[in-house]
Every structure is written in C-alpha cells, then in structure tokens.
Amino acid sequence: MSIPAYLVAGFVALIVTYALTHEMQWISRRLGAVTQPGGRHIHAHPIPRMGGLAIFTGVMLGLLCALPIDHPIALVREPRYLVLAVPYKPIAGPLLGLLLGAVAITALGAIDDVRGLPGRLKFPLIYAAAAVPVLFGMTTRFMTNPLDGSVIPLGIIGDVFTAVWLGSMAIAMNEIDGVDGLAAGIAAITAATLLIAAATRVDAAMMIVVAAVAGGALGFLRHNFHPARIFMGDSGSMLLGYLLGAAAVQGLFKTVTALSLIIPLLALAVPILDTGYAIVRRYRNGVSIFLPDRGHLHHRLLDRGLSQRQTVLVLYLLSALLGLGGLAVAGINRTPSLVLLAGIVLALVVLAWRLGLLRARPRPAGMSDPPGEPVAGTTSTD
C-alpha cells in the first residue's frame, strides 16, 4: 500500500486548519482583530477576522510534512510488524523560498488585520514578500514560442514577472474576500483545477502545494460558510492567493507555453478580473486604486437580490466553469472536460435565469455605494 505525498499534505492541512480555526476566534477577539458591521460590510454583528493564521498553520505543517517526501509512502507488512517507509530528501531551494515568502506575506496580513496598514505602504510590502521565492530560484526563466517551439530566454524579465504575478494573486484573492465562504471556496476550486493540471505532468511539488491549499481552504470553509463565525482576514486571503500563484509558477517553471498559461489564468480568472475591474473603476471614479469600495462582483450580485449563499454558489460555478475551460483548451482530459463544461454552462445559464441575473433590474433604493473610506485591518468587505 502506498500513500502519495500530496494526500499527506492535504489531509494534514485540512485537519489542523479545522481544529485551530475555532481557537482563533478567541485569540482574534483578545487582539482586537474584529470586523465591525456597517459601511461596506454586510454582516450584522462583530466577527473575528484572524482565521488566516489557522490556515497558515495547517498549510505550512502540510507542506513541511510532504515536501521532503521523495516517493509515495509505503506501508510494508513484515512477519511481525507493519513498517511505514517514508522516503525523504532536503527541500529544494525554490520551495524553501516559497515557504519563507508564505511566512512573510502572512505576517504582513496579520499586522494589517490587527493594526491596519495604509494601502500605499501595504501593497509595496506585498510585492516585496512575493519576491522572496525569486531570490531562491523560483522564477520563469524562459518562454516557449508556440509557433515553432523555440526557447526565448527571459532573464530578469522572468524574475520581475514572477514577483508581480505572486503579489498580484495575493491582492486579487484578498479583493474577492467579501462574502462568507467566497475566498475559501474559490481557492479550493482553483487548487483542484491546478491539481488536475499538475497530475497530468506528474509534477509532484505542484501537487503537494495545491493539495495543501485545498485542504486548508476546506478546513476553514466549515467555519466560514454563511453564516460565518470567523473571517480569514488579509493573513488568510493573501496567503491563499500567493500559494496558488506560486503553484502555477512552479508548473510553468518546467514548461512555459501559451497553452500552459491558459490553465492558471482561467482557474484564477474570477479574482483576476474582479481586481482588474476594481482598479479601472476606482481610477475612472477619480479615487485612489488602494481605496476599498462596494463595487465588486459579489456586491453587484447581492444588489440584484441574491442571498450570500446564492452569490457564493454562482461564483463557485463560474470559477469551476473557467477552470474546466482552461483544462479543456489545454487538452487535458479534453472529451470528459468538454462534456462536463457543457453541463456546467447549461446549469449556470439556468441558475442565472432563475435568479434574475439575465434580466435588467433597477438598483434597490438605499444600496448606493458609500463614500470610500479605508477600513482598518482589511481591504475586503469581510
């Protein structure tokens, strides 16, 4: 009997995160990391917001347990004993940089959850933390020309791209963390998509990372789905975005082609597009791009009359749809993916019609965006 390393990572992250999240409610209240209702926030009573530290602990323990494992764990039956054989090796430099960057970005998020940081300081620090894995060799060194297969060296451009990608994914996941269970659910769906992509390439390191993310996200989701008892805060949302971005880079590290870029871009399309639109929207409104507002996709769905649970389910379906589309376009399990993709498209259209999303509806009275104000401790509505 053999046990793959990615199952170890996912199981440890799931159990530890689930167990610690309840304790983080008490710790968050003691530290004053509590999100009050009102303004852009849609919850009705104060809720602690440092659940991200539980996610961090679970995911890191999962990674530390699984990354050194060289081959699947073997359970060997001897005449009088059961022997658990665990082959291991030192953690590679780029993966060590990934872990150190995770520590840095989680610490930054935790400080923001407790004390609050201005956007002009916080966002440069996010990109600085995202550059840590690059210093350890996790970077995109080349691009394969999809037309003739020739290799195009990227040099320092690849380093800059990697740091910007990791930091931007951390910010994007933080931006969509505005409805109970949304960020955790989308992180789990994205991780599942990337796990399928990594399995087809037999990329063990990427499989371990995304399995740990999925385990941590699912373990936290039990406490965070509506009605939420705790929020993940910036420490959790930025960590999940960073790790998913890093998993994509780890996959691209071996083969960077146009099609290989499709999968992570579509899998992460919901947070990417929502954040991109938020930047454009704030710029056109003449306010700072760092200033939180109430114009995100989940806000618009809520303003159309959807409940929080309906909103997250619609966005879950959209995220799964885009992820399956990326797998289908890239040729991974093409026929089954296309069949499932067609079924999800049909279900999504029917659901959207039943919920009234395809029919124009006037904006409800009293739901206009309030004047933008920085909210201490988080850039999201949670």
Task: Give the amino acid at 34.
Answer: V
Average pLDDT across the chain, whole number: 79
pLDDT at 377: 35
Residue 222 near residue 89, CB atoms below 8 Å: no
Q: How confident is the model at residue 214 (pLDDT cuts 50, 70, 90)?
A: very high
Q: How confident is the model at residue 16 (pLDDT cuts 50, 70, 90)?
A: very high
- The C-alpha atoms of residue 43 and residue 220 are separated, in whole angstroms, by 18
365 sits in the region (left: phi over 0; alpha: psi -120 to 50; else beta) called beta
Q: Does residue 232 surpass a pLDDT of 80?
A: yes
Closest by alpha carbon to 207, among 174, 254, 161? Answer: 254
pLDDT at 368: 40
On the 0-12 / 13-18 / 19+ scale of CB atoms within 10 A, 124 is: exposed
Q: What is the mean pLDDT of residues 30-54?
A: 78
Pairing assessment for the beta strands 142-144 and 151-153 based on DSSP bridges: antiparallel
What's the pLDDT tens digit per position in 362-378?
A: 444 444 443 333 333 34
On the 0-12 / 13-18 / 19+ scale of CB atoms within 10 A, 243 is: buried
pLDDT at 228: 85
Q: What is the mean pLDDT of residues 151-165?
A: 84
Give me the sign of the Cα torsion angle 254, 259, 264, 267. Answer: negative
> Which of 42-46, 66-70, 132-136, 322-326 has the lowest average pLDDT?
42-46
Q: How confident is the model at residue 40 (pLDDT cuts 50, 70, 90)?
A: low
Angle at 163 between CA 65 and CA 286, to 5 degrees: 125
Closest by alpha carbon to 263, among 330, 202, 208? Answer: 330
Task: Give the amino acid at 63.
Answer: L
pLDDT at 130: 94
Cis peptide leading into residue 68 (ω within 30°): no
What's the pLDDT tens digit per position in 75-123?
A: 777 777 777 667 778 888 889 999 999 999 999 999 998 888 888 889 9
- The C-alpha atoms of residue 272 and residue 188 are separated, in whole angstroms, by 16
Q: Does residue 55 surpass a pLDDT of 70?
A: yes
pLDDT at 345: 67
